[in-house]
Amino acid sequence: MAVIGGIVAVTCAYLYFSGAFPLWESLHHGFFQSLSIVTSNGHTTAGYSDWPFFVALLLLLGSFFGGCVGSTCGGIKAIRFLLLYKQSVREIRLLIRPTAQIAVKLGNRPIPDRVMQAVWGFYYLYIFCYCALSLALVGTGLDLVTAFGTAAAGLNNMGVGLGDTASNFSSISDTATVLLTVSMIVGRLEVFPVLLLFHPDFWK
């Protein structure tokens, strides 16, 4: 709630102070658009492609945060970011006290190291897929802004791109469409189930 609330607040404030909208419209569009993109709802309002680029980039990054685990939202999911944050704090504390036994906890429950390894593995694979997809989309002829925004739209299943695909995806090539189709499957199934299909041990 804190992260999403912060994204909404910054979006609304920037839309207002940049002169894009008057106060009420800044609140209305900022609130709706922020929640729509972060939760991968896919709806846009009021010429989203014409908004200040700062807002578009903020919402694009917010789409990686996603919603709660177990929801139908896209993205990496809030619980994984929380665990990664707690693990980072743990590593800093271990640098100060190398022999300390410090557990990552959610509430009062310690999180097994096996779970943390899975979270780190997922995070690495997700970011790797995003970078590889962005590079592939640039290879199809898209500019950098459009490629990075469109890759996020596909992998995070948010349905809203950036640059040339901010309003629709009709301008991209057939090759890019196929890449995005695959990325949507990878993002929706959260990477690991797709990779299992290509592992020899799975078929033994």
Q: Give the count of beta carbons closer than 10 Å to the beta carbon of residue 89.
A: 12
Domain of 60 in residue numbering reads as 2-65
**Does residue 36 lie in a domain region?**
yes
**Does residue 45 lie in a domain region?**
yes
- In whole angstroms, give the CA distance from residue 156 to residue 12: 23
- In whole angstroms, give the CA distance from residue 112 to residue 136: 36
Instruction: Extract the tokens encoding 166.
Output: 């901010």
Q: Give the count of beta carbons closer than 10 Å to the beta carbon of residue 143.
A: 12
pTM of the model: 0.88
DSSP conformational letter for 43? -
**Does residue 155 lie in a domain region?**
no
Taking only the tens of pLDDT, the chain with its 204 residues reads: 888 999 999 999 999 999 888 999 999 999 998 888 888 887 777 777 778 889 888 988 898 988 888 787 888 999 999 999 999 999 999 999 988 888 899 888 999 989 999 999 999 999 999 999 999 999 999 999 999 999 999 999 888 888 888 878 888 999 999 999 999 999 988 888 888 888 888 888
Q: Which pLDDT score is estimated for 11?
A: 93
Q: Angle at which helices 23-38 and 2-17 pack, to 10 degrees?
A: 140
Q: Which pLDDT score is estimated for 163?
A: 84
Query: How many domains are there within the chain?
Result: 1
**Does residue 189 lie in a domain region?**
no
**Does residue 51 lie in a domain region?**
yes
- In whole angstroms, give the CA distance from residue 100 to residue 193: 36
**Does residue 55 lie in a domain region?**
yes
Partners of 44 in the beta sheet? Answer: none
**Does residue 151 lie in a domain region?**
no
Q: Give the count of beta carbons closer than 10 Å to the beta carbon of residue 109.
A: 9
Start-to-end Cα distance in the chain: 44
Q: Which pLDDT score is estimated for 138?
A: 95
Q: Which pLDDT score is estimated for 56?
A: 86
**Does residue 127 lie in a domain region?**
no
Return the exposure string of 26-50: e unless at least 16 CB atoms fall within 10 Å of the residue's CB, then b. bbbbbebbbbbbbbbbeebeeebee
Q: Which pLDDT score is estimated for 184?
A: 92
Write the pLDDT tens digit of every residue in 149-203.
Answer: 999 999 998 888 888 888 788 889 999 999 999 999 999 888 888 888 888 888 8
